[in-house]
Structure 1
Amino acid sequence: MDILKDKVILVTGGTGSFGKKFIKKSLTLGVKKIIVFSRDELKQYEMKQEFKDNRIRFFIGDVRDKERLYRAFDGVDIVIHAAAMKHVDACEYNPFEAIKTNIHGAQNIIEAAIDCGVEKVIALSTDKACSPVNLYGATKLASDKLFVAANAYVGEKQTKFSVVRYGNVVGSRGSVVPFFKKIKDTGVIPITDERMTRFWITLDHGVQFVLENLERMQGGEIFVPKIPSMKVTDLAKAIGPECEIQIIGIRPGEKLHEAMITEDDARHTVEYESYYAILPELSWWSNAIENRGKPLPESFAYTSENNTEWLTIEQLKEFIE
């Protein structure tokens, strides 16, 4: 992973689950400096106690504040954009706030990165951005499209933008795993629908996938890893095998199954051994990059229900432990 050697890295939302894991890994890869950019001073204070490394800088700021981003991006080589409003219910109740952070914030990242001469930007996305049914997914879809189109805005600059999209992260803040663990002692675990399935990825896998795509990105791709699916009922059995499963009904903005590549996306998606790359349909892409991936078959869609790899209850237990 020489891509990080002697580089200055900035991680927005750097005190989050992904940010902390990414920074911990990056410190072993010869980085020159890592800037943690986030708006919560308490989390930054706590992180300072955990990470005793003089290569880390802590920068209080909000992606909504373009001027602050310009100051933070000065001298930065690589930006990992992990900051977002990501809780579905909070976004539904505070839609303007979600738009300001997830969409306007994305535009601010793009403009600051280009003007400050950042080499590469990877934005983290979510399976909820694929055929979105809630505001969080809709804002992340808009963000994805902004980062893809940003490659046409760079002019003579060298900044490249790509997106990484993956599913539920085991044990991250907001994950269902901590919630199930917390309530299992009651003897009842609530499930919205017994048919529900989800994609599943570990934090370590997510971080590794971002690092790999920093190496391979040419600008404009949405990278999607091949990851397993799981049944939510199996997850409940893995965490609380003695618990009763209570079906409470699907919530507003929730899907039975998640998708990461739609049939429409599949027409311009190519497959590799361990991942897919959704390529831009914009005119500037077609002659710029030689594509070595394998085209997908007609009517292909990558959803958690039609996945070829599934986690068993025993495998889920191992992941959770």
Structure 2
Amino acid sequence: MFKNKVILVIGATGTVGYEIVKKIIKERPKCILLFGRNEYHHFKIQQSITYDGLKNVIGDIRDKESLRSVMREVDYVFNFAALKHVEYCENNPFEAIKTNLIGLQNIIECAFELNVKKVIHASSDKAVNPINVMGATKMLGERLILSKALATSSPIFATVRFTNIIESRGSVVEVWLNQIKKKSPVTITCPNMTRYVMLKDKAVQLVLNACKEAKGGEIFIPKSPEIKLNDLCQIVINEASDMWGIDKNSIIIHKIGRRSGEKKHEELIGESEKKFALENDDTIIINPFKKNLGQSEPKYSYSNRNDSKEVHEIVRNIIRGMDI
């Protein structure tokens, strides 16, 4: 699919962006353009990945001219650029709007103007019935993509809606592992709070599948296990203490309470979206062009699940692979 093509990865220095680059290189594209504003992280990627067609471009999606100059002759665009932390977006709402909405609109307009083939945009399950700034910007970002997809057949625009990638930088699992390693109290906001979780490999595969299958306007959502924070915390403590030889009974859990803007329970899909939803073994696909007309029940039937075994395996893989 990507052989001899020009690929633009926006936000390539993040967890998923970096893994996407490594995957795409295997297909021998003509060029992969890595676009972002963190000079140091671009330097680190350049040191870790060797490929003649790899080019680092320092720029910001808030700057439309910067985007326009890098998007010429591009075939596929992957957008992972965003302000993602709920607390920081609550405290800096206009910054969240400038990146998550104005920056995204710049991507959409440049892609349309320059005849890009496909644009795959990364969203979050916080976009479903949002109660915070970050979720609201993600919800509106999905609407921007959908609006353009409904208005044009080229480029093809589609969205992937990630759940919590718990290997990502700054994730709660990384925070807890650092606290356990330092023998500090493990801080937890609300023990009964639930989150959907996924591995970065599944996130990468979701993006690549979306790029292959998208016809325009779809939202691709991974079927993910749901878990209470307290249960996740206990899994992390048990796995880390066993692997590092730490007495788990010596680890203190400190409840700090919910932070501003945090939802107690997140959702994969909104009620109004279910009539447009189809599913396969591992993905829910919201397709605005295929409403289930004439059916009393939607084709979507996936229910929340708390798969402790899967979450254990996820956490084990994270601990083994983390450099802490």
**Pair in the same fold by TM > 0.5:** yes
- Matched with 1:142 is 140
Which 4+ runs in 1 deviate beyond 4 A? none
Indicate the SS of the match to 1:210. Answer: helix
1:248 positional shift = 2.1
1:65 positional shift = 0.7
1:209 paired to 2:217? no
1:187 positional shift = 4.6
Among 71, 74, 77, the alignment partner of 1:76 is: 74
Indicate the SS of the match to 2:72. Answer: coil
* Kept after mapping to 1: 8 A contact 2:16/2:204: yes
- Matched with 2:173 is 177
- Matched with 2:61 is 63
1:316 positional shift = 4.3
* Kept after mapping to 2: 8 A contact 1:227/1:309: no
1:11 positional shift = 0.6
Q: Identity, % of aligned pairs?
A: 39
Report the number of matched residues.
303
Describe how 1:178-197 pairs up with structure 2 within 5 A: 178-184=174-180, 185-197=182-194
1:265 paired to 2:273? yes
Among 4, 7, 10, the alignment partner of 2:5 is: 7
Among 163, 167, 179, the alignment partner of 1:167 is: 163
Describe how 1:13-162 pairs up with structure 2 within 5 A: 13-154=11-152, 158-162=154-158
Indicate the SS of the match to 1:295. Answer: coil
1:296 paired to 2:299? yes
Where in structure 2 are there 5+ consecutive unaligned residues?
Answer: 239-247, 292-296
Distance (Å, rounded) in 2 between the aligned partners of 1:50 and 1:319 = 21
1:200 paired to 2:200? no
Indicate the SS of the match to 1:240. Answer: helix
- Give the counterpart letter for 2:226 in structure 1: S
Pick which of 220-229 and 181-190 moved more: 181-190
Indicate the SS of the match to 1:163. Answer: strand
Indicate the SS of the match to 1:19. Answer: helix
- Give the counterpart letter for 1:295 in structure 2: P
* Kept after mapping to 2: 8 A contact 1:235/1:316: no
Indicate the SS of the match to 1:233. Answer: helix
Distance (Å, rounded) in 2 between the aligned partners of 1:314 and 1:210 = 24
TM-score for the superposition, normalised by structure 2? 0.88
Indicate the SS of the match to 2:140. Answer: helix
- Per-residue CA deviation, residues 117-165 of structure 1 (Å, 9 max, x unaligned), is 10000000001111111100100110110001112343xx621100000
Indicate the SS of the match to 1:260. Answer: coil
* Kept after mapping to 1: 8 A contact 2:150/2:217: no
1:200 positional shift = 1.1
Pick which of 224-233 and 74-83 moved more: 224-233
1:309 positional shift = 4.8
Change (3 A) 1:314 1:67: closer
1:310 paired to 2:313? no
Change (3 A) 1:235 1:286: closer
1:101 positional shift = 0.6
Among 245, 252, 255, the alignment partner of 2:263 is: 255
Where in structure 1 are there 5+ consecutive unaligned residues?
Answer: 288-293
- Matched with 1:226 is 223
* Kept after mapping to 2: 8 A contact 1:12/1:37: yes
* Kept after mapping to 1: 8 A contact 2:218/2:286: yes
Distance (Å, rounded) in 2 between the aligned partners of 1:111 and 1:217 = 19
Distance (Å, rounded) in 1 between the aligned partners of 2:66 and 2:21 = 21
1:315 positional shift = 2.6
* Kept after mapping to 2: 8 A contact 1:193/1:248: yes
Indicate the SS of the match to 1:164. Answer: strand
* Kept after mapping to 2: 8 A contact 1:271/1:295: no
- Give the counterpart letter for 2:229 in structure 1: V
